[in-house]
Amino acid sequence: DIQMTQSPSSVSASVGDRVTITCRASQGISRWLAWYQQKPGKAPKLLIYAASDLQSGVPSRFSGSGSGTDFTLTISSLQPEDFATYYCQQGISFPITFGQGTRLEIK
C-alpha cells in the first residue's frame, strides 16, 4: 500500500494568512493526487485533483502543486470558512489511501 503522510498534523493561523500543507507519498504517484476539505459533521469536499487542477466552484485562493512523492496545498489568504481539516489522497493504485489529515485552526 502507498502511505500518505501529511504535515503538519495541525496548524493555527489567522484570517488573511498564507498557509501551506504538505503531503508525502511513500512511493512515486506522478500527479495522481487529490486534496479535500472537511468541516465537522460534513462530507469531505474535493478541492484539487491531478495535483494542481482546481475543482469547479472552488475559490482560486486554493492551489496545489507537486509531482512524484511531494505535494503541497496552499491557501493564499485564509478566510473564516477555510478553517477545517484537509486530507490528501493518492489515486494511482489500489488500495486508494488518504493522509491522516491536517487540522487548520483559528489563531
Dist CA 21 CA 101 (whole Å): 10
Nearer to another protein, 13 or 45 (CB): 45
Minimum Å gap between C-beta 13 and another protein is 21
β 85-90/33-38 pair status: antiparallel
Counting contacts by CB under 8 A, is residue 101 touching another protein? Answer: yes
DSSP characters over 46-75: EEEETTTEEPTT--TTEEEEEETTEEEEEE
Nearer to another protein, 57 or 80 (CB): 57
Binding site for another protein (CB under 8 A): 1, 31-34, 36, 42-46, 49-51, 55, 87, 89, 91-92, 94-101
